[in-house]
A and B are shown apart, each in its own frame.
Chain A
């Protein structure tokens, strides 16, 4: 594989991620075709950087400090127009300073609006989302958080979503 971002990681993290990749079993992959051309789609973004607005509840960093095997599986809605002045990044496994200097590094809402103005996509969704990406036990994320995000996206007639790691 040509892509090798492992070289940006320390040795231990690299070994753990490779072990996880080797052990992971993939089930049936769902696939929903785009219902319309991209240039007509309303697009939403989901960041795993643990972005929360300053007027919202922070992701639970103390809970993770008490139990390092646990990560906060909740999500935060981030309305379009939110900027780095309005948020903090609560992911303890990344360097939050880049996204806090320029939110588009992790949640590119302004870039998406520009692509809409260029006609590449139809429009940015009114609301975007963030979760916190360190979750070893993903049951609550899968069973509660993701369906809740999907429901809000459907209510805002989102046609497609881009998931952005951190």
Chain B
């Protein structure tokens, strides 16, 4: 949307195949966990490297659909990264689906009920 109004954009994504399927002008893929797109808190050098690499995709892209995989590795195992967020309350949709699991098909298919159409 920003791009169509004349502002060039680059999109960083940890799920680049989904973002790519949506179709963005310039995409930087990054193998970091959700909630920590730039890196670990207080790791200024690491965060700056990710931002700089992302902005370089902005500068170097030659046409729509350009995709670059950033060369950064998350320093922890997936299990450790997942465990860091243990104990958070589940999102409301997860709560709902635990009570009404048949609604999962709706989420899966993307057929979202309207604002008042509670399942």
Name A residues whose Cβ lies closer than 8 Å to a Cβ of B.
1-10, 15-24, 26-27, 29-35, 37-38, 43, 46, 49, 64-65, 67-70, 92-96, 98-99, 101-102, 104-106, 108, 110-112, 114-115, 120-121, 134, 136-137, 142, 146-147, 149-151, 153-154, 158-166
Q: How many A-B residue pairs have CB under 8 A?
A: 229
A120 in contact with B22 given A5-B31, A154-B6 (CB within 8 Å): no
List 21 contacting pairs A-B, 8 Å CB cutoff, sorted by A: A1-B16, A1-B69, A5-B15, A6-B15, A32-B25, A34-B8, A65-B92, A67-B116, A69-B93, A70-B115, A95-B84, A96-B35, A98-B35, A110-B44, A111-B38, A111-B44, A153-B2, A161-B9, A163-B9, A163-B24, A165-B15
- Within 1-59 of B, Cβ neighbours of A (below 8 Å) are at 1-25, 29-42, 44, 47-48, 50-52, 54-56, 58-59
In the complex, chain A residues whose CB is within 8 Å of the CB of B65: 29
Name B residues whose Cβ lies closer than 8 Å to a Cβ of A.
1-25, 29-42, 44, 47-48, 50-52, 54-56, 58-59, 63-65, 69, 74, 78, 81-82, 84-85, 88, 91-93, 95-96, 107-110, 112-119
